[in-house]
Structures are given as structure tokens and as C-alpha cells.
Amino acid sequence: MEIESMVANSALIKAREGGGSKGRSYKWKEMLRFAHVSQCVDHGMNLERHYHSLCVKQPVGKKLFQLFCRSRSDLQNYISLQDALDMFETRSDEERRDFGISIIQRFLRSQSIQSVSIALKHEQSCVQSLELDPCGDVFQACREDLHTYLCGEPFIQYQQSMFFDRFLQWKVLERQPITKQTFRQYRLLGKGGFGEVWACQVRATGMMYACKKLEKTHVKKRRGEAMALNEKEILEGLDSRFVVNLAYAYETKHALCMVLTMMSGGDLRFHIHNIGVPGLDRDRVRFYAAEVCCGLIHLHQKSILYRDMKPENILLDDNGHIRISDLGLAVRLSEGTLVRGMVGTLGYMAPEVIGHKHYGMSVDWWGLGCLIYEMTAGQPPLRARGEHPKTSEMERRIQTEQLEYSDNFSKAAKDLCSSLLIKDPKQRLGCGTQVQSHPFFKKINFRMLEAGLVEPPFKPDPRLVYCSDVQDIDEFSTVKGVTLDRTDCDFYCKFNTGSVPITWQNEIIETGCFRELNLFGPEGSRSTDLDW
Ligand code: ADP
Ligand code: MG
Ligand code: MG
């Protein structure tokens, strides 16, 4: 490895280790200084006052609403019940029954000192459903009633409290303009179609991200405006632990930038082909397949068709969980409609895509089949390692040829792949049938997996950088003869929307900035009666 690469890598590794408070600029408190309440009034006027968005979805909003409720003796038990219900979701299957019973005894019985009046009527039905299936959504009706109560009078009073003023102060910080100066830049991570992807760190908080740059001249020359905007708009509407999150979208003089969840563990192509014997062991294949499956279900529930499933686009984080990335080809389908268009990567395209038919979510399940096949076999379906058949030949194989399965495939793995790789989309697994119920996933607890509570079978080494050496990533060529003018600005403005609220608020909480800065009281002292 060349010295340049080693220097770039060790700078990145050091930044990653320090991630969080150590990575903050010494001026971080100045950068995150609250505006005076009177300067936040405008923001408050323009804010849509929806309880669900302000007090449930937005993480900082939720915290401040909880602090408000804790400061009010008549609401304390409501919020303790909400905490207990959140915690219930993080318990293992074995713990759920006992934990559920303790919730019922504490909050749902009138003789308990912590009883919550609006929840009492659920006691019997909760006891029953807990008996029947502790892993079901035992407290659903109870949770709904809790929110119905909180979104009434308590929500109105919250908006007149200092806690809501503080929320507005955070919102004003969230809306600060984002520029190149917001970040420190580390090494180059990879190259995409319109530009490079760099590791970066937010100066104010120390949070690490990956910045995907789209060169303005490249985008213009190849008419990629709609595609860039599409990727950005789809990403900002998503919130799943199995899809990369968008944290910021901003522009510089030469580039449009999407700041994404940092995935330090490399992509699955690298893990399948560049480490030891090609392919992955069974536990890893099952785990990654299950997480990808959850990601796809999340996208499909939001009517988003992904269309670019392949090992390169599935990335690992530092704990070994995966996320789906690169949503440039994704499309939102309006209810019940299909699309057409030969997009994707040839080797992973479904027969109905190649056949110029109208298609829907079926193509992603085909893609999952290809992914599981490649992870298991160590080579992509219908193609030998390193073989690059002509387009017409590859199309013929996808449409007519049957797959072969080596000894690497267990009976369940073979059955799963052949069900996902059925040429007729109507017969394919996933299209009207549940992929998660396949025997291949018998050992996977999807409830725990969805909650992020399953330990990954492989943890990337924090001392390694799982991507090509800096000098082996081709330099991004510059385009000549393209001039940017006023007509482009309209598109840049639509792109340049700054922080994405939920991701930004999570960053503030995860890096400890919220805890350190959210002080109340005359000298900023934290009131002792607030329970943290
Ligand atoms: P394109 O749409 O142009 O293919 P990608 O989104 O696939 O661009 O990004 C190009 C490369 O950059 C990826 O193959 C990967 O190596 C790297 N990369 C992209 N996103 C991330 C991320 N969130 N974390 C780490 N590396 C990333
Ligand atoms: Mg890509
Ligand atoms: Mg792309």
C-alpha cells in the first residue's frame, strides 16, 4: 500500500474512533448556540402543529414533549407508561410475558398508585393477548388511546410551555444553512456515476457520514437532474434501519451533495469476492438476506420500487448490519400501477424488465434471489466468475436458462433461490406471498431483527478500511464545454434543502450534544427535578 493511502486511512480510522464528542470542533458550542426565543417566533408560526410529527416522529420533539410531561405531576404516569411500552419492544421473546405483566400491574390496574385512567379498560384484553402470544402487538389499543389523550389538552399546553420554546430553538439550529464548512473531509470512499463519495464529519457534533457528490457539469451533460432530485427526494422520505438515511442535502460551487449514513464495513461485493474463498458462510447469507428483505418490505410499503439490487449496493456498517444504498433508480409507484423501462444492472435484471414488459415490485424479489445466489455460490447467477457475456447472450440466459446449484446450497437455500428466481413474476415468491415465512429464515426472529436487536454474525474490524486504496479509485474526470446558467438554479434550489429533520435530530441526540446543551434554568443549570 502506498504511503498516501496509509495516511488517508489512518486519518479516517482515527476520526471514526473519536466519532462523537472527541471529533467535535473546539468551537462546537458556538456553532450550536440557541437563538433567543423571540427570534424563533417566526419559525413557530410556520410550523405545522401536528402532534404525531412534533411529539412522536421527531426525536428531539419527542424528548422535549416527554420532559414537559415529566414536569407535570398529572402527566408523569402517562409518560412512564409510554416509556415502558417502548421498552417492551426491546425485550427478547422470553422476557416479554413477565415484562408485559409488570406493565399491566403498574399502569393498567386501578389499585396501583401509578394507574393511568385512560388505559384501565385495556387490562383484560392485554392480559389475554399476552397469554395468547406475547410476541404480538399486545398493547396496540392501549398505545393508541395514550396518544389520543396526549394529543388533546396536554399537546395544547405543551405548546405554551418553555419546553416548546426550546424545541423551536432546536428547529432554528436545524434550519441553519449547510455549506462545505459544515464538514471536515476525510478519504475518498468510492466513485459513482456523477461523482465521488467521501468520508466526512460534522464539525459541530463529530458525527461521521459519507458525502455523495454529484458534479454539476456531469449531471447537466448527462441530463441527470431528474434522477438526482428523485434519489434525494425518495431518501428524505424514508426512515428505516435497513436503508441509508439522508442527513443533509446541500450544494457547493461545483457539486450537489447528499450526506448519508456512514457505512464503514464496505459493500457485499467486496465481502463476497475480495476476502478469502468467494462467497459467504450460511449464517451471514441468512442474516444479510433477512435484513435486505426487511429493507425491501419497508420500501415496498411506501410504494417504492428499488430496481438496483446487487451486492455492490448493499453496504455494511461498523457493527455488521447492512443497509440498502444507491436509490438513484428507485421509483414511487402510484397505487396499483406498474412501470416500464429497462433499468438496473444487466446481470441482475428480471426477465420482465428485459422483456420490456410492465412490471412492479416483482423485480426486487428477483434481485434478492440473485443476491442470495451470489452470496452462497460465490458467483453471480447464470454467469461464471469473471465472465462477461454479450448483452444479447445474457438476456437469453435470464429469460430461458435454468439455474444450477452447487453443493454450497442447502436444501432450503436452493428452494428459496429457485422460488425467487422464477421467470414468471406472477409465480415468484414475494409477489403475494411472504418471503420471511420461507423455511430458509426459520432461525431468524424478524421482530427482533426489525428492532435492530439481533447480533450480526460478522463484525467488521474497526482498524480496517473496507474499500479500494485511494489511488486505485479512478480519478473523476472533469467535463469540458458545459456551462452552468440561471436555468440550472431552479433545480439546485429544489435539491439544496439542508438538514433532514429526523436524521439531524438523531445526530444531535446520539452525539450527546442534546444532553449537554439542553439545559434549563437561570444560569443554564439543569433543573434537578427533571428525570433524565
Ligand atoms: P452511484 O449511484 O453513482 O452508483 P453509489 O451511491 O453507488 O453511486 O456510490 C458509489 C460508491 O461509493 C459505492 O459503491 C460505495 O463504494 C461508496 N459509498 C456510497 N455510499 C456510501 C456510504 N453511505 N458509506 C460508505 N461508502 C459509500
Ligand atoms: Mg452504485
Ligand atoms: Mg445510483
Same domain, 80 and 127: yes
Task: Assess if residue 517 is contained within a domain.
Answer: no
Mean per-residue pLDDT, 264-287: 94
Please give the helix or strand (H or E) that residue 419 lies within, else none: helix 411-420
Identify the active-site residue in 42, 145, 308, 529: 308
Note whether 132 and 117 are within 8 A (CB): no
Q: Is the pLDDT of residue 300 over 60?
A: yes
Residues 275, 386 share a domain: yes
Domain count, the chain: 3
**Ion ligand 3 — residues with CB under 5 Å?**
326, 328
Same domain, 63 and 131: yes
DSSP structure class, residue 267 = B
Which residue has a Cα nearest atom 10 of ligand 1?
192
Complete DSSP assignment for 355-411 = TT--B-THHHHHHHHHHHHHHHHSS-TTS-TT----HHHHHHHHHHPPP---TTS-H
**In the predicted model, is pLDDT for residue 52 greater than 60?**
yes
Residue 4 has a pLDDT of: 81
Q: Based on the residue annotation, tell me whether 308 is a catalytic residue of this protein.
A: yes
* Residue 334, CA distances (Å) to 225, 337, 423 in order: 22, 6, 25
Evaluate: CB of 243 within 6 angstroms of ligand 1: no
Judge if 153 and 233 occupy the same domain: no
CATH of the domain at 398: 1.10.510.10
Question: Per-residue pLDDT for 525 more than 60?
Answer: no
Query: Is residue 387 assigned to a domain?
Result: yes
* CA distance linking residue 245 with residue 255, whole number of Å: 20
Computed over every residue of the chain, the mean pLDDT equals 92
pLDDT of residue 275: 87
Question: How sure is the predictor about 20, in pLDDT bands with cuts at 50, 70 and 90?
Answer: low
Instruction: Give the range of the structural domain holding residue 277, as residue numbers without chain letter.
Output: 266-464
Q: Is residue 240 located within the same domain as residue 108?
A: no
- The answer to whether position 17 is within a domain reads no
Best-predicted range by mean pLDDT (29-43, 235-249, 342-356): 235-249
- Any ligand 1 atom below 6 A from CB of 315: yes
Residue 505 is assigned to a structural domain of this protein: no
Do 316 and 444 share a domain, yes or no?
Answer: yes
Same domain flag for 388 and 273: yes
Task: Identify whether 357 is part of a domain.
Answer: yes
For the chain, helix, strand, coil in percent to 5 are 50, 10, 40
Q: What is the ipTM of this complex?
A: 0.98
Q: Are the C-beta atoms of residues 26 and 161 closer than 8 Å to each other?
A: no
| Residues in contact with 474: Cβ distance below 8 Å, sequence separation at least 6, in sequence order | 191
Q: Is 245 in the pocket of ligand 1 (CB under 6 A)?
A: no
Q: What SS3 class is residue 197?
A: strand
Residues 301 and 192 placed together within one structural domain of the fold: no
Give me the mean pLDDT over the 368-377 stretch: 98
Q: Is the per-residue pLDDT at 92 higher than 90? A: yes
Q: What is the mean pLDDT of residues 468-492?
A: 78
Examine the domain organization and report whether 310 and 433 are in the same domain.
Answer: yes
Q: Does residue 377 share a domain with residue 362?
A: yes
Same domain for 260 and 329?
no
Domain match, 349 and 414 both: yes
Burial class (CB in 10 A: 0-12, 13-18, 19+), 226: exposed
pLDDT of residue 19: 57
Task: Identify the CATH number of the domain in which residue 252 sits.
Answer: 3.30.200.20
The pick from 194, 201, 212 for probing ligand 1's pocket by mutation, whose C-beta has the most ligand atoms within 8 angstroms, reads 212
